[in-house]
A and B are shown apart, each in its own frame.
Chain A
Amino acid sequence: MTARFPALLMARRNLSRNRLRSALAALGIVIGVLAIATLGIFGNVLQTTATSELGGIGNQVIVSPNADAGSETLSPRELREVRRVAADRGTVVPLITDGAVARGSGESTVVQLYGTDDPGALFEARDGTLPTRHRQGAIVGSAVADRLGVEVGGAVEIEGTRYRVVAVLAEGEDVTPVGPDEAVVLPEDEFAQDRYDRVVIGADSGRAAAAVAAEIRDRLNVRTERVSVFELSAVLERIGEFFALLNAFLVGLGSISLLVAGVSIFNVMLMSTAERRQEIGVLRAVGVRRADVLRTLLVEAVLLGVAGGLLGVLASVLLALGLVAYVDGIGLAALPTLANAAYLVGAFAFGVLVSLVSGAYPAWKAARERPVESLRG
């Protein structure tokens, strides 16, 4: 290898001449790369964890009639429009909503009533199974079930009608306007009204949700504000932007330390080329070209950067693993992402680049000096 890359041989020997000084110069790069990569990865992990906490709500679009426009329900035409817009971009679940008092086992509580024939599209069951076509019985939210002390197979009484409890809903982790915990889900036929007053669209992605919401507004709210469209993808986008800003700030902070490391490499290269002035003059005198001298000195600086960068990357991987090991709620799965790999590679590349740039002037200055001057010492 060194036979084919003589610059590498010379550079390595020169760096080993003053090991402590070389190590300290590389240490600066280690710290800089470590700072950038670690802060970047931590920011990423924070963002990944936070957005997965927020879950799927970013994909939800909720359409309800605009009460100010005098409408309490959605017309069949409006529902058709919503279905058309959302087609191929997500599932559409129309709901009838109401409030009521539920009784069971001698207790009573205020509940949110949802009327739908397809509860599986919106909710998950904790006990029992959700019917694919909801025809009879009540599905009770976990908080309601706990307060009333009812279980699957028990009964709740709503507005004077008794319903057998067919399932209890799982606790909702997400923040959503259609929360399962305080709900009782009944078949649509149990409601006096036959028109829906809410449509929940579960879009395939946050982007699809935003597009669907925009299109529904465009189509239905042309002349008057007939429906209000609620979606969280915009909010999530804001949150994402915040994290991106935070990350940029953290990485910027890390970059400053790498620049400081660059100054130290600059200094070391300037010193070591000044000390070796005569040697460089000899190289030039015996017929080594200016470009080869320059290359050798640049390789020296780059070697410092590569060594420091590799150590920095290694250290930040270890730190990230430590974060996973010691902080609950952060999974190992949050680490091997493309973005994290990009931070590692980017920090390493930046470290090498800073070394190269820092070494450039001292190398150029040394290679440029006339051998007659440098030989004089």
Chain B
Amino acid sequence: MTGPDPADGAARPERGATAATASGARPVVELRGVTKTYESGGGTVVALSEVDFAVAPGEFVAVVGPSGSGKSTMLNVLGLLDAPSEGDRYLAGRDVTGLTDAERTDARKDAVGFVFQDYHLIPTLTALENVTLPTLFDRDGAADDRARDLLDRVGLGDRLDHTPDRLSGGQKQRVAIARALINRPGVLLADEPTGNLDRATGTTILEEFRRICAAGVAVVAVTHDDLVTEYADRTVELVDGALR
């Protein structure tokens, strides 16, 4: 694990609620003793084993490890897409282990942003509409303005009405980042964010992540890409479902 973030040191850890992070601030996401097992074929597969993991606000953490080591599972459990078999998870200091599906969906919308390797933009929607997608059913009048602002910040202010097929890979990923930030989440979870991009484009995305972190949003990126670890505050390694 890397050293503490010098910019953050004022907040004290809250006893009992969540564990202290490396920086000492209350973590935006946290896993405590999380184990995830699957029933597969003839036996039980352990995807995550007793994982303790916490991310401080504004921290950029890279999660590396070989294929099948449980990286994606960890991201899914962090992002409330998958439920842990054992252990607890916290989002912004709140225990979200036992939430119902609808509550998880709402918590995900408010507190987590996702960035995928394949961007996963909706092909029928424009860049602007893709960014507002998480708020589409919320009657959120200000979402459009936020989306314009976000697209402007990622350098796509002139591509608002472009559908994904008219955008390059890097542009698509920046639209996806803007979408992930539309509800001002505490953490952005990225699954191989540079996996489909060339090195130069990947660099611009990682610089984008640094700017996001500077604004206080944590980034957790699961990756094979050494470039990502160069930009990360710290790198953790998963091997056979256990953190090293």
Interface residues in chain A, defined as those with a beta carbon under 8 Å from any beta carbon in chain B: 4, 6-7, 9-10, 13-14, 16-17, 278-279, 281-292, 370-372, 375
Contacts and interface: CB of A to CB of B under 8 A. Distances in A.
A289 B136 contact: no
B120 A284 contact: no
Contacts of B180: 286
B134 A289 contact: no
Q: Closest 8 A-B residue pairs measured CB to CB?
A: A287-B109, A13-B124, A286-B134, A282-B120, A292-B137, A6-B136, A372-B81, A287-B134
Given A292-B137, A372-B81, A375-B81, A287 B120 contact: no
13 contacts: A13-B125, A14-B124, A283-B122, A283-B133, A286-B108, A286-B114, A286-B134, A286-B179, A287-B106, A287-B183, A289-B102, A289-B137, A372-B76
B105 A289 contact: yes
Given A6-B137, A10-B136, A285 B124 contact: no
Contacts of B105: 284, 287-290
B134 A288 contact: yes
B84 interface: no
B141 to A, nearest CB: 9
Interface residues of B, number: 28
B195 interface: no
Given A10-B136, A287-B109, A288-B134, A17 B116 contact: no
B108 A285 contact: yes
Given A10-B136, A375-B116, A286 B109 contact: yes
A13 B102 CA distance: 26
Determine which residue in A6, A282, A291 has the highest number of CB atoms from chain B within 10 A of its CB, and name it. A282
A279 B81 contact: no
Interface-central residue, B76, B116, B124, B139, by most chain A CB under 10 Å: B124
Contact of B124 (A16, A281, A291, A372): A16
B101 interface: yes
Nearest to B125: A13
Contact of B133 (A281, A288, A289, A370): A288
A375 B76 CA distance: 11
A371 to B, nearest CB: 5
B102 to A, nearest CB: 6
Contacts of A290: 101-102, 105
Given A279-B120, A372-B81, A285 B114 contact: yes
B68 interface: no
A285 B72 CA distance: 14
* Most A CB within 10 A of own CB, among B81, B102, B179: B81
A16 B123 CA distance: 12
Contacts of B134: 286-288
B82 interface: yes
Contacts of B108: 285-287
Contacts of B123: 17, 279
A285 B81 CA distance: 7
Nearest to B163: A13
Nearest to B108: A287
Interface string B119-147: 01011110000000110110100000000
B79 interface: yes
Contacts of A285: 79, 81, 108, 114, 120
Contacts of B101: 290
A286 B101 CA distance: 13
B137 A288 contact: yes
A291 B183 CA distance: 20
